[in-house]
Structure 1
Amino acid sequence: MTSFDERQTISPKFTKLRDHFPEEVEAAGQTIYSLPRPLLDLVIEKTGTSLLSRRDAQFERALAACPGIGFCNGRSITNSPLEQFQISLKTAPIRRRSAGAGVDSQANIRLRCAYTAYLILDTEMFNERRQLLGSHESSIAKLCPLPSLVSSDDRDSKLQIPQRLQKPLKLLHGLQRKWGIERFATWELPTPLDAAVGGQAAMPSADLNESGLHVFLPWATLADSRLTVRDLLNRVHRSENIEHVKPWLRGAPATSGYLTFGWQLVLFVYRIRALNARYGDRKYGSVGLLDRAFTQYLSGRSNDSIGLESVRQLRLRLTKSLANRSGSEKRKQAD
C-alpha cells in the first residue's frame, strides 16, 4: 500500500523548468499557473516587450509546454472544468461513452466551469476555507494535489494517511461535501463534482446525499421522456442544509449566465493569478493591451464571442468581487 507522503513527489517537468529558470521559479512562489500557448502567443503579440522581457517570454513558453495548468509545490496541477471550457470555446464538445462517466455536454461543461468561478468568489466558501487553513495550515496547507473526495475505489482512499493528517482531512472532506467539491487543484482553485450516470457512483451514498441530489430511477420510469431533473427537484424537501448554495440555485446563473462565469474563471487564473502575480509591477502600461489579448482568446472560433468593452467590465467586476470576498486582500494582484 502506498503511503500518503510517497504520493507527494516533485514532477520531473518542474525540476527541468527550475533548472533552466531558477530565478523565475523562485520568484513565482508555491503556485505557478501556466498560460495556454494560444493565449500566451496573443499576450506576446499584443504587449510586445512592455510586459514580458525576452527572458520572461522564454520562461512562459517553457511553462506553457508543461502538462496541466501549472505547478503547486513542484507537482503538476489540473482543473478539468477550466480545461474543458477552453476546448468548448473552440471545438465541438467531446462526449464520453464509457459507463459511469461524467456528462460532457456543452451545457454541463459550462455549468461546472461557472460553478468553479462561483465557488472562488463566494464569501462564505472563502471564509470557511481560510478558517480551515488557519487551524491546520501546518498539517495540510502545503499538500498539493490535495486528496480527492471521490469513492472508495479512488486511489486516494488506498493511501495510508498519517495520524497527523486524519483530523484535518476529515474537516477538509466535510468542506468538500458541503460545497460539492471533488478536489482542490490548489487551495484557491476547486474542482466541482461532476454529474454521473451509470452503475458506479462517484462517492458513497451518505456523501452523495450531502453534496447533491442522489437519484435512483427504475427502468420503467425512463419510458416517460417528459421527466426532467426539475421534476425530481420539485419533489425534494428543501431543508436548511442547502442554504449556502441557494444563491446559486435561485439566481446566480440566470443573472450572469454560465458563459460569463466561465470567462471570469479564465481571467482569474490566467490574468490575476498568473500574469498579474508574476508581472504585476509592470502591468499598468499593458492593461488595455491585455484586454485585447483576452478578448481575442475568449472569442476564439466560438459563436459566443465577447467584445473588448465586455472584457474590461468583466475584469473590473472580478476585481471588485475578489476585494469584497476577502476584505483584507490587496488589490495589487488584480488590475
Structure 2
Amino acid sequence: MSTSLDHATRAPARVALVSDAGSAPSGGRPRVAIVTCAEIPLLEEDDRLVLPALAALGVDASPAVWDDPAVDWTSYDLVVLRSPWDYAQRHDAFLAWAATVPRLVNPAATVAWNTDKRYLAELAAAGLPVTPTTFLAPGDPWTAPTTPGEYVIKPAVSAGSRDTGRYGPADAEQALAHVRRLQAAGRITMVQPYLPAVDSYGETALLFFADPDTGRLAYSHAIRKGPMLTGPDEGVETLYKPEEITPRSPTSAERAVGEAVVATLSDGLVYARVDLIPDERGNPLLVELELTEPSVFMLHDEGAATRLAAAIAWAL
C-alpha cells in the first residue's frame, strides 16, 4: 500500500471513539432522532423497522434531516446517524454539523475519521488484511496500469459508489481523465485492484451492534451484495445505486476478519459494518469499514431491528 499523504493528524486505528451520549432524563420517555437526508426524509423502508422496535423499549424515535435548520438537536436524548447519504457532496458542512450535535452516535470523532477512506491505510498498517490501495493527492502524477487485470478509481470521500469507475488495460484514457477530474476538484483519489470474486461470490457485509451487556460491538448478521460496477465512471449524479442483497452466513475466515477489525475500535459505538471481498486465493480482504451511515439490512434478518434497538437503548 502506498500513499503520498501526510495522515499524521488522522485518528489511529484504535482511537478514542467513546460516545458522548449522556443518560436519559429521569422523567418521561427518551427521545431519539434517526438522522437521514432530505431525499428520504421519512427514512428508507429498512431503517423504519427500528422505530417500532425502539417503541417497544419505551423510546420515542423519529426521523430528522441532518441539515434541516428547524431541528433542535439539543431536544433529543440521543441522535443516531443512519442515512445522511448526501454528506459526501458537502463533507465539510457535514463534519461541522456533527461536531455541534450533543449525544451523537456514532460520535463526531468517529464520523470525521471514518468518512475519509484514508483510514484503510491505517488499518493496513495495523496488520489487517486490506485491499491494496494507492492514494493520490491533487497534483500527484499517475499513470494507468498496463498490466492485465481491472482496477477501481474512486474518491476517498464518497458514498453509494458515486464517482466510482471500473477500468481495464483498454480504458487508460478514460481512467486518467477520471483521476484528473477528481484531482481538479481538490479530492483525494483512490486506486484499487478490482477483485474478480465480487462478480461471482459477491461482497460480504458483516453487521455488528453494541451488546447491551458489554458495551462492545457484537456480531449480528451478514448479507451478500452483488456486483455494482460495470465499467468506467459516467458522471451520473445519483444519491446511491441499487444493490442486489441476499442473506449470507459468513465463513469462519470472514467472521475472524470482521472480529479482528472491530477489535481495533474503542468502546462507545452503536454499530459497525465490515465489507469483505475474497482475493484470488479466497482470503477475505477488507474493502470498507462503515461506522457513519451504513445500510444495516434489517429486512434480511428477523432479529436485526430488535438488536439495533437494544444497542440504541444501551447508548441512552
TM-score (ref. length: structure 2): 0.29
Larger helix share, 1 or 2: 1
Computing the radius of gyration over CA atoms, which structure comes out larger, 1 or 2?
1
**What is the TM-score of this pair, normalised by structure 1?**
0.28
